[in-house]
Structure 1
Amino acid sequence: MMMKFGGILGFENGIILAPMGADVAGPELVAAVANAGGIGLLASPINNYDTTVKAIRDTKKLTDKPFGVGILLEFDCTKTIKAVFDEKLPVMEVYWGKFPKEMVDEAHKHGVKVIHQVGSVEAAERAIAAGVDCIIAQGVEAGGHISGTVSLVALLPRIVDLVGDRDIPVVAAGSISDARGYVAALALGAKGICVGTRFVATNEAYANQYYKQQLLHYTEQQTDRTDLYGRYTWRAYVRCLNTPFHETWKQAPNYGTLVNDESQPIIGQSTVYSEEIILRRFAGQVANPTTCGQLENMVMLAGQGVGLVNDIVPAGEVVRRYVEGAKAIIQELGETHLPKASPQPPTTDHEEKKIKDSWKWKWIKKLCL
């Protein structure tokens, strides 16, 4: 059983699974993260009530732990939100758009806490004014869709300072692929981390094996921030692997006018939440296990932390590595960077209690709980 470490919003630990779309963060991955004490977030279908309910119920079959759903605000999400309310989920994440106070209030009436992912201080100000329960600060180095242009190290402490003493935990997102990144985020004031790329390379992620394997062979210098993919429905920046296909087309003279419309050849097809999808060149959809066709010519979303992704393991193992690794690092830092209470071991119960009650041990204990 996972030990509690830095729990937020009533969950056992501060690890959040990014709701990676369209269905990479499906029931199996969400349940695995939830079972490990983290906050699993389903990638919700776009405004489809029945499909969202089915995905939620399929997840409930795999875990009795709480979990949530990610809501993409770029599109109409009324039906998806209704499914979250009707299924009585404890949290939902909203991102890429505004979620005003009246919508936050409505969520609270249904017992749903709102996590808002932002990419700028200005967006964080709006989220605070709306009364959200948690803010995810996403750095530009993150994989998938990225709304900001500032690195996590610069953005995170600014948002932490903005939140101040309000009861709104700030979570870090962007290239946090191991326990060292987790501890760095904690040092910058975060209460938890939101993870995408590292969770794609897990057994339970609903991603094509070819896509998972490619993550093991790329580094931080081999990703690109681009708006090349999915322009037909949504022109937005993503960070992806700089594959040979991507490298070729980003240098094309007509790069700015390329659109994945009917003028582009069909390169494959997928089944996404029971819907058959035709994939044309420059489609924004990553490959899932049903995808067939020219996999090497499809977008592969990944953050700059991909260089630290070296194996494909169960999602619970990923959570364990974050939690146990962070605890070990914090304890080591306490031993190497904080003053020693005494070179001599305590000789009485009174002296032992005095050392345990010292500010050094209180600091370490606070971080490890």
Structure 2
Amino acid sequence: MGWRGILGFEYGIVQAPLGPDLSCPELVAAVANAGGLGLLRAPDWESPDHLRELIRKTRTLTDKPFGVGVVLAFPHQENIKAILDERVAVLQVSWGEITEELISEAHQAGVKVVPQIGSFEEARKAVEVGVDAIIVQGLEAGGHVIGKDGLITLLPRVVDLVGDQDIPVIAAGGIVDERGYIAALALGAQGVCLGTRFLATEESYAHPTYKRKLVEFDKTEYTNVFGRARWPGAPHRVLLTPFFKDWKNLPIHENETNQPVIGRSTIHGMEKEIRRFAGTVPNVTTTGDIESMVMYAGEGVGLIKDILPAAEVVKSLIEGARRLIHQRFNGEI
């Protein structure tokens, strides 16, 4: 079954690289120590020395393997070099083209490459260049969503594409509990990748107000209101907060560049101003009008009722899935 592990990890549970810095070493190490695959998030600018510090700090908290997520839409060459030099277990990439050269360099360093894709065509290209696994992200996912297809239709198509090749397929998008996990396995996935559920954990670097909203609110919307200037053409799914309800019909010509500063934050060691409609989520250092900042979340947010330790999230997924299969399917799918 999927809980028996993928890519050499004990369980088929992946903690998404929550950005820009919400996947802190404490969260990643907690997931790794619980038997899952935890993913740090590389900065959205070249900062190899800082990234090395994150990797090395994580290694002081766990002796288990883990990975780093890189958004290819932003400057990344020096960051990837640092990741390969540090020989982390997994390089997870998204929002960009994966080349055979990158795969070769990673494999020479003993690093597995796992892209997150949002379309069948992306998946086909990933298989052709020889990736080690594929994360299939459905439109239900929180944060920046590259595809337009729902998970229940896209996932089995990618599973069929992979066929009997040794490329695990991992499901992402709206999954927060054992029911979503079992559904993904039934569609052919060998593991699941969770973002919003791990965001709502004790270890994540998200601001306490952000975490509280993940428990309080149960609706999301797919939009392009936030971060239009910094990352154009990158729609995203956010919590339906009062601020977003008031501004969800923002004219298309408006963006964050001419908006007032509503807060400040230290992100990957750099001091940043946060303007209204910026796509910057609040972390624990953020000050200002937190309620008016973007809060990414997937469609499964309504199933999140509390803030848990990350290890408990992993444990509940595994034990809940085993119990559900035994009760509903007599031990079989």
TM range (shorter): over 0.9
What is aligned with 1:193?
192
Matches within 5 A, 1:265-276: 265-276=260-271
**2:227 pairs with one of 213, 219, 230:** 230
What is aligned with 1:206?
205
Q: What's the CA shift for 1:258?
A: 1.6
Q: What's the CA shift for 1:124?
A: 0.2
Matches within 5 A, 1:289-368: 289-335=284-330, 364=332
Q: What's the CA shift for 1:76?
A: 2.1
What is aligned with 2:163?
164
Aligned-partner Cα distance in 2 for 1:5–1:103: 29
What is the CA deviation profile of residues 151-207 of structure 1, one whole-angstrom value per residue up to 9, with x for unaligned ones?
100110010001111100000000101001000000000000000000111000000
Q: What's the CA shift for 1:243?
A: 1.1
Aligned-partner Cα distance in 2 for 1:5–1:166: 19
What is aligned with 1:251?
249
Aligned-partner Cα distance in 1 for 2:128–2:225: 34
Q: 3-state DSSP class of the match of 1:124?
A: helix
Q: Is the Cα contact below 8 Å between 2:200 and 2:306 reproduced in 1?
A: yes
Q: What's the CA shift for 1:11?
A: 0.3
Stretches of structure 2 lacking an aligned partner (at least 5 in a row) = none
Q: 3-state DSSP class of the match of 1:42?
A: strand
Q: What's the CA shift for 1:110?
A: 0.8
Stretches of 4+ moved more than 3 A in 1? none
Matches within 5 A, 1:20-99: 20-46=18-44, 47-99=46-98
Amino acid at match of 1:105: S
Q: 3-state DSSP class of the match of 1:61?
A: helix
Q: What's the CA shift for 1:99?
A: 0.7
Q: What's the CA shift for 1:79?
A: 0.9
What is the CA deviation profile of residues 77-131 of structure 1, one whole-angstrom value per residue up to 9, with x for unaligned ones?
1111111111111111001111111211111111110111000000000100110
Pair member with larger Rg: 1
What is aligned with 1:5?
3
Q: 95-104 or 116-125, which moves further after superposition?
A: 95-104
Q: 243-252 or 305-314, which moves further after superposition?
A: 243-252
Identical aligned pairs, as a percentage? 53
Aligned-partner Cα distance in 2 for 1:115–1:273: 23
Equivalent residue pairs, number: 330
Q: What's the CA shift for 1:6?
A: 2.4
Q: What's the CA shift for 1:251?
A: 2.3
Amino acid at match of 1:277: K
Aligned-partner Cα distance in 1 for 2:283–2:320: 30
What is the CA deviation profile of residues 39-62 of structure 1, one whole-angstrom value per residue up to 9, with x for unaligned ones?
000011132110100110111111
Q: TM-score if structure 1 supplies the norm length?
A: 0.88
The RMSD of aligned alpha carbons is 1.2
Q: What's the CA shift for 1:327?
A: 0.9
Q: Is the Cα contact below 8 Å between 1:6 and 1:192 reproduced in 2?
A: no
Matches within 5 A, 1:86-165: 86-165=85-164
What is the CA deviation profile of residues 239-297 of structure 1, one whole-angstrom value per residue up to 9, with x for unaligned ones?
00111111111224xx2112111x21000000112110100011111000110100110
Aligned-partner Cα distance in 1 for 2:261–2:74: 25
Aligned-partner Cα distance in 2 for 1:103–1:76: 15
Q: Is the Cα contact below 8 Å between 1:53 and 1:87 reproduced in 2?
A: yes
Aligned-partner Cα distance in 1 for 2:16–2:285: 21
Q: 3-state DSSP class of the match of 1:216?
A: helix
Q: 3-state DSSP class of the match of 2:246?
A: helix
What is aligned with 2:274?
279
What is aligned with 1:342?
none
Aligned-partner Cα distance in 1 for 2:134–2:87: 21
Amino acid at match of 2:10: E
Q: Does 1:218 pair with 2:198?
A: no
What is aligned with 1:242?
240
Q: TM-score if structure 2 supplies the norm length?
A: 0.97
Q: Is the Cα contact below 8 Å between 2:3 and 2:191 reproduced in 1?
A: no
Q: Is the Cα contact below 8 Å between 2:3 and 2:13 reproduced in 1?
A: no
Stretches of structure 1 lacking an aligned partner (at least 5 in a row) = 336-360
Q: Is the Cα contact below 8 Å between 1:140 and 1:152 reproduced in 2?
A: yes
Aligned-partner Cα distance in 2 for 1:205–1:320: 17
Q: Is the Cα contact below 8 Å between 2:37 and 2:67 reproduced in 1?
A: yes
Amino acid at match of 1:305: G
